[in-house]
Structure 1
Amino acid sequence: MPITNADVVAVFSEIADLLEIEGANPFRVRAYRNAARMLGELGRSVRTMVDRPEELDALPGIGPDLAGKIVEVVTTGSCALLQRLRKELPPVITELLKIPGLGPKRVRTLHRELGIETLAQLRQAAEQGRVQSVHGFGAKSERQILEATGRLLQQERRYKWADMEPVAQALLADLHATPGVHRAVAAGSLRRGRETVGDLDLLVTAENPGTVMDRLTASEDIQRVLEQGVTRSSVVLKSGLQVDLRAVAPASFGAAWLYFTGSKAHNIALRKLAQDKDLKLNEYGLYRGKQRIAGDTETAVYKALGLPFIEPELREDRGEIEAARSGALPRLLQLTDLRGDLHAHTKDSDGHDPIEAMAEAARAHRLHYLAITDHSKRLALVHGLDADGLSRQIDRIDEINASLRDFVLLKGVEVDILEDGSLDLPDAILGRLDLVVGAVHSGFDLSRDKQTDRLLRAMDHRCFSILAHPTGRLINERPPCDIDLPRVVRKARERGCFLELNAHPARLDLSDAACRIAKSEGVLVSINSDAHSRLQFDSLRFGVSQARRGWLETGDVLNTRTLGQLRSLLAATMARGVGQ
């Protein structure tokens, strides 16, 4: 199976971890981390760029050395540097980095002092009270480690949706190339757009299903074959991901696609509906007695049950069947409905590209406006802007806007929300902006009441516009902050400000459930890329997928408005603020 961006990201991330655990030069470590982050958010496949070295060299933060390693990974599946580092340090040691608060330096300390190499060993050491005996650790950190290792050892391994999509597309392209294959599609949680995927479900129709099964199981990327038959095979990829492939007859394709897309709860509800009509529904079709009355398409199955087509993202048995029966299904948001992006970074803080390049890239994505929202000074590690730096950027944006046609840059900032709820920049400079995006970047472990009050106080600020990535979670890396989300949403409604759905594939914050809460309260959601380079506006599609799972329509989303409508809403928000 061809190498994907996620494969290169995994190699570079592991190299960075192992280098840091070894105590390598921080600049070298940072180069690999930055490259991994950039490639993970890249909208293009590096596999298509390896024959054009000048394109790889032009990527932000990628010089000849890293470009050469990208080519090495794409062509061989690994990297000599990684193999050397693995010999020096066990690769499983990087699993310890999943523990909140355990960075590479602390992992190195535990490895050196206690010989810890795995999560299980770390948990045992914490149970025995040996962790707090190590310099730099105490009873509190040992207790946190005990809780975190227990949670991680129990949880099912799931993969980010954005990482699995290119894997699925590569597999499907390979299956399509098999002679006699008519259709090859993804099903399961990937098709439903869930933010994490446990395994991949693929479905084909083919003249010779056995040939298709042979094609899958013969792939060099397969670690082991769990099952191989004429119409069904299951394999485990070298990444640990399980792939289930099923072949069906064309007459059953729609019923099978519906069944294997799920969710289980949605399927059960449909079968109950069929039973109420004296029908039987399974993966082969919808039957009246022995007669199949529908099955070739999903639409035909739904119609025979008296329902309109239900979009895959809604199929979770969360009221979609009742809404379909009553004609109340939402007209879900489309990517083309977005008119702008209200959260992006430039070289003025931790972005890779200048303002002009970001504007050009946003316009290439058919957007009409873009808010420049570099970080405030609190985040020194990302070169956040102080009041003077932001003032100079404001003037620069005015100059650039004077030269733009049919596109507008909005002046904004991603300002840190401090632990007392105050904002990281003075009112005098915030008042010169078109919008202020407030965000939490520290103090994630505050109590529920303190964290919630922190956000509510920040939202009261007269210049506050949008609450960025409201829960602060990083998928599979950092849990969401403990906040009273319904209370925060109600505050946004009362205050007249907005909530962000951060489309960065590692965040997707708000969750789908939170989007529904916002919709029910009439709070507009802003779907933003959080782009840190001109190559990352493609992330907007991940945000749109999440919004669709949250039942959001065009009218529920702030940045589907025209520029004039947006400015009116932002001005009204500022007018309703109560100061600080």
Structure 2
Amino acid sequence: MFISNAEIASIFTQMADLLEIRGEDPFKTRAYRNAARTIENLGTDLAKMVEAGEDISKLPTIGERIANKIREIVQTGRLAKLEYLKHAFPPHLLDLLKVEGIGPKRAKILYQELHIGSLDALKKAAEAHKISQLKGFSEKLEKKILKGTLLAKKEGKRFLYAIAEPYADALEKYLKSFGEAEQVTVAGSFRRRKETVGDLDILATSKEPSALIDYFVKYPDIRKIISQGDTRSTVILRNEMQVDLRCVHEESYGAALHYFTGSKSHNIAIRIMARDMGMKVNEYGVFKGEKKIAGATEAEVYESVGLRYIEPELRESRGEHTAAKEDRLPKLIEIGDLKGDLHMHTTYSDGHNTILEMTEAAKEMGYSYITITDHSKHMAIVHGLDEKRLRRQIEEIDKINERLKGITILKSIEVDILEDGSLALPDSVLKELDLVVAAVHDKFNLSQKVQTQRILKALENPYVKILAHPTGRLIGEREPYRVSMKKLFEGVKNNGCFLEINAQPKRLDLKDIYIQRAKEAGVRFVISTDAHNKASLAYMKYGIYQARRGWLEKKDVLNTLSLSSFKKALKR
């Protein structure tokens, strides 16, 4: 049975939410939340640690009581105490917490006062203006909740790429372990590295397809088998993710992989090109009349219509067909191109590791420099830095740099952009840093004009070099704030600044289409993890995937440069 860290963390988060809704001791809820945060950011699989007999109770915030519950989840796939708790509430009550502005306390009020136990009921109550009549709920909050229900419902049953990835990897490994399996690839939106994934489409070749299907439906993580035939099967995993397996002939594998990778619009364009050349392209191959002329590999499919091979991340009908025909496809950036990470937090603000711990972890990843960017004092909830504490951090970084070899720590801060466009710290301290990362963390509902002016003014500050998570979105939870992207790109470029691609799986901010447009406008980028512990430095690959979907090459990204070249590029 496969159980991911994300799934274990989700179980503990649900426990904490339901306990808080029920009004239990805050100490209990805090213990579950702290454990969930630790597990989410753990660099190794808890399931493997349990199976190896390791003492997981020694992990931060875990302890023996939580460790026993983790063992129960790993061994059974569920937590009996959570199942018992769920029986006391409507089955979809926790869906309310997906809506921005609703936490457990407000969910409790909505449930007790209006008997709201689902997103549909929440939407109806907001439309009928019943929520604003409750104590502590304003008309403004009611409008925000209504908007949030629409966003949550729009996302439907989709999974963040980072959540889907371990399930896809485990399934691929399982199928490849079957002796008669030859080629196995997870296709669809997963292969195109979309930020969310609806289901998994797996293609395979085997001399014994029916035997491979039999092996597939025995996968321990399956909750329900929808269909099972000689060459294909559909199942539902325990986490409600649908998986389709198709076995195809080896001579058609490339055509099928192209077809089931998509996107639909990309494939339609290929079929039209083939038709105009007197050919037909489908999932079985490329045909000239009745004769099959290609299909064993994807490269053959593209070559048959006169195109270079197009990477899966580019297959969204955003100019890739013309670029391939004219031999000007980008050589997409790769994870190994990066020399440093430019956004991370330590125990100075809301991070979980010290400066030295973060630096040593980054050095192990092969980086030659990093930037420490703790929060500024404006964000009280994250224990942000004032001038005095920032100068103390500067001194500590200087001391570490003196004795640490092979990696350099650059001094920085993630400074808040205030509503009027000024920064939360004065220039007198910002000028002592190597660079400044600026970010919006509040007042998301300003008009487009005011929000744009706010950010553009901040970019004019001579010490600001990077705009972090430029649109403020949280996938499926919070829409981007309203800002003129065209003016934003102009402001970044004209002030010699750089746009961040934030690799946090819930952010992936910028969106791929804006990355492509910004590149076309002459903007350059950095890719950073926004890591709050050393394990989260591994999120960098998700930023790389997003950058590739935005057509970025090595030359477009500042932190692919050596340290000396990086410092030169920072100078306006």
Bin for the TM-score computed over the shorter chain: over 0.9
Matches within 5 A, 1:145-160: 145-160=145-160
For residue 10 of structure 1, what is the aligned residue in structure 2?
10
Distance change in 2, residues 1:388/1:52 (3 Å): farther
Aligned letter for 2:503?
A
For residue 473 of structure 1, what is the aligned residue in structure 2?
473
Distance change in 2, residues 1:41/1:98 (3 Å): same
Aligned letter for 1:176?
K
Alpha-carbon distance in structure 1 between the residues aligned to 2:364 and 2:67: 26
For residue 198 of structure 1, what is the aligned residue in structure 2?
198
Q: Does 1:372 align with 2:372?
A: yes
For residue 333 of structure 1, what is the aligned residue in structure 2?
333
For residue 354 of structure 1, what is the aligned residue in structure 2?
354
Alpha-carbon distance in structure 2 between the residues aligned to 1:75 and 1:138: 46
For residue 86 of structure 1, what is the aligned residue in structure 2?
86
Alpha-carbon distance in structure 2 between the residues aligned to 1:343 and 1:145: 31
Q: Does 1:237 align with 2:250?
A: no
Alpha-carbon distance in structure 2 between the residues aligned to 1:531 and 1:140: 33
For residue 47 of structure 2, what is the aligned residue in structure 1?
47
**Structure 1 runs of 4+ with >6 Å offset:** none
> How far off its partner does 1:375 sit?
0.9
> How far off its partner does 1:359 sit?
0.7
For residue 426 of structure 1, what is the aligned residue in structure 2?
426
Aligned letter for 2:152?
L
Aligned letter for 2:13?
S
Deviates more, 1:337-346 or 1:513-522: 513-522
Distance change in 2, residues 1:397/1:57 (3 Å): farther
For residue 541 of structure 1, what is the aligned residue in structure 2?
541
Deviates more, 1:146-155 or 1:4-13: 146-155
> How far off its partner does 1:457 sit?
1.3
For residue 317 of structure 1, what is the aligned residue in structure 2?
317
Where does the alignment leave 5 or more consecutive residues of structure 2 unmatched? none
- TM-score, L = length of structure 2: 0.96
Contact 2:468–2:499 (CA under 8 A) maintained in structure 1: yes
- TM-score, L = length of structure 1: 0.95
Alpha-carbon distance in structure 1 between the residues aligned to 2:128 and 2:189: 40
Deviates more, 1:537-546 or 1:129-138: 129-138
> How far off its partner does 1:60 sit?
4.3
Contact 1:160–1:197 (CA under 8 A) maintained in structure 2: yes
Alpha-carbon distance in structure 1 between the residues aligned to 2:263 and 2:505: 22
For residue 444 of structure 1, what is the aligned residue in structure 2?
444
> How far off its partner does 1:4 sit?
1.5
> How far off its partner does 1:380 sit?
1.7
For residue 297 of structure 1, what is the aligned residue in structure 2?
297
Q: Does 1:33 align with 2:33?
A: yes
SS of 1:371's partner is: strand
Count how many residue pairs are aligned between Structure 1 and Structure 2. Answer: 572
Contact 1:518–1:525 (CA under 8 A) maintained in structure 2: no
Contact 1:60–1:352 (CA under 8 A) maintained in structure 2: no
> How far off its partner does 1:360 sit?
0.8
Alpha-carbon distance in structure 2 between the residues aligned to 1:11 and 1:549: 32
Contact 1:126–1:146 (CA under 8 A) maintained in structure 2: yes
Contact 2:151–2:477 (CA under 8 A) maintained in structure 1: no
Contact 1:349–1:383 (CA under 8 A) maintained in structure 2: yes
SS of 1:515's partner is: helix
Alpha-carbon distance in structure 2 between the residues aligned to 1:153 and 1:506: 17
Q: Does 1:251 align with 2:265?
A: no
> How far off its partner does 1:91 sit?
4.4
Distance change in 2, residues 1:151/1:402 (3 Å): closer
Matches within 5 A, 1:64-143: 64-143=64-143
Alpha-carbon distance in structure 2 between the residues aligned to 1:531 and 1:500: 14
Alpha-carbon distance in structure 2 between the residues aligned to 1:413 and 1:146: 35
Alpha-carbon distance in structure 1 between the residues aligned to 2:26 and 2:436: 33
Contact 1:522–1:556 (CA under 8 A) maintained in structure 2: no
Alpha-carbon distance in structure 2 between the residues aligned to 1:288 and 1:279: 5
> How far off its partner does 1:183 sit?
1.7
For residue 577 of structure 1, what is the aligned residue in structure 2?
none
SS of 1:535's partner is: helix
Alpha-carbon distance in structure 2 between the residues aligned to 1:464 and 1:30: 37
Alpha-carbon distance in structure 1 between the residues aligned to 2:408 and 2:51: 36
Where does the alignment leave 5 or more consecutive residues of structure 1 unmatched? 573-580
> How far off its partner does 1:34 sit?
3.9
Alpha-carbon distance in structure 2 between the residues aligned to 1:103 and 1:297: 50
Instruction: Give me the identity figure in percent.
Output: 48
Q: Does 1:173 align with 2:173?
A: yes
Aligned letter for 2:282?
N
Alpha-carbon distance in structure 2 between the residues aligned to 1:105 and 1:187: 41
> How far off its partner does 1:38 sit?
4.0
For residue 559 of structure 1, what is the aligned residue in structure 2?
559
For residue 576 of structure 1, what is the aligned residue in structure 2?
none
For residue 550 of structure 1, what is the aligned residue in structure 2?
550
Alpha-carbon distance in structure 1 between the residues aligned to 2:330 and 2:534: 32
**C-alpha offsets along residues 355-390 of structure 1, whole Å, 9 cap, x if unaligned?**
111111101111110101111112222211111111
Alpha-carbon distance in structure 2 between the residues aligned to 1:477 and 1:202: 29
Alpha-carbon distance in structure 2 between the residues aligned to 1:416 and 1:65: 39
Alpha-carbon distance in structure 2 between the residues aligned to 1:10 and 1:304: 47
Alpha-carbon distance in structure 2 between the residues aligned to 1:464 and 1:323: 35
SS of 1:50's partner is: helix
Distance change in 2, residues 1:526/1:149 (3 Å): same
> How far off its partner does 1:58 sit?
5.3
> How far off its partner does 1:123 sit?
2.1
For residue 490 of structure 1, what is the aligned residue in structure 2?
490
Superposed CA RMSD in Å reads: 1.8
